[in-house]
């Protein structure tokens, strides 16, 4: 269904539309709230493309189109602590609610734990983003805490939830899924 690949500068054009779509960016990175011009988006995207400290990947649909629909990865990687922070942004709303986010999450957790050698992967999610919270719980993330009124959207503050998954929990979750009868 999808393929995760490094982003290149030529992949920037869909971000012009996505970042200027208030619905697409509602619960995403705060930096998206302040970017509007092509130059601002180009400058931000250049930092993503050239970022060698974090694991950033474009989310592409498999098949004839090989269409970019978003990006995801693990940032703030701490090698001494063997931890990182998961993020995902599916900018193309036509592909929301189709299980792509869950598939990307599973792939990136596997990369984080098996390839990058992490022991802990955390994330933050806006409390009103119920679909994302459910998807993260289904992937094995556990609630660790609440950051009160940490996000301002729609002229109001709301809490952000801190969730994480540990390597042992992920292996156990994966084993349960693999042993589940069809």
The domain spanning residue 32 has which CATH number?
A: 3.40.630.30
3-class DSSP assignment, residue 90: strand
The C-alpha atoms of residue 151 and residue 9 are separated, in whole angstroms, by: 30
What is the value of pTM for the model shown?
0.91
Q: Which helix (H) or strand (E) holds 100?
A: helix 100-110
Domain count, the chain: 1
Checking if the pLDDT of 24 tops 70, the result is yes
- Asked if 140 and 134 count as a contact pair (C-beta separation under 8 A), the reply is no
Instruction: Print the domain residue range for 69.
Output: 2-178
HSE-CB of 103 using CA atoms within 13 angstroms: 17
Checking if the pLDDT of 120 tops 90, the result is yes
pLDDT band with cut points at 50, 70 and 90 for residue 108: very high
pLDDT band with cut points at 50, 70 and 90 for residue 153: confident
- pLDDT tens track for 57-99: 999 998 756 899 999 999 999 999 999 999 999 999 999 999 9
> What is the CA 36 to chain-centroid distance, rounded?
21
């Amino acid at each position: 269904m999808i393929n995760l690949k490094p982003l290149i500068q030529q992949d920037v054009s869909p971000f012009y539309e996505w970042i200027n779509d208030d619905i697409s960016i509602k619960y995403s990175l705060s930096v998206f709230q302040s970017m509007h011009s092509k130059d601002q988006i180009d400058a931000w995207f250049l930092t993503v493309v050239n970022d060698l400290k974090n694991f950033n990947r474009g989310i592409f649909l498999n098949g004839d189109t090989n269409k970019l629909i978003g990006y995801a990865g693990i940032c703030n990687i701490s090698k001494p602590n063997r931890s990182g922070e998961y993020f995902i942004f599916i900018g193309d709303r036509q592909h929301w609610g189709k299980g792509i986010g869950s598939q990307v999450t599973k792939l990136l957790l596997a990369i984080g734990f098996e390839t990058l050698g992490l022991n802990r992967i955390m994330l933050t999610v806006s409390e009103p983003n119920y679909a994302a919270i459910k998807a993260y719980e289904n992937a094995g993330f556990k609630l660790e805490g609440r950051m009160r009124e940490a996000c301002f959207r729609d002229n109001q503050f709301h809490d952000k939830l801190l969730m994480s998954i540990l390597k042992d929990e992920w292996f156990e979750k994966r084993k349960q899924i693999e042993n589940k009868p069809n």
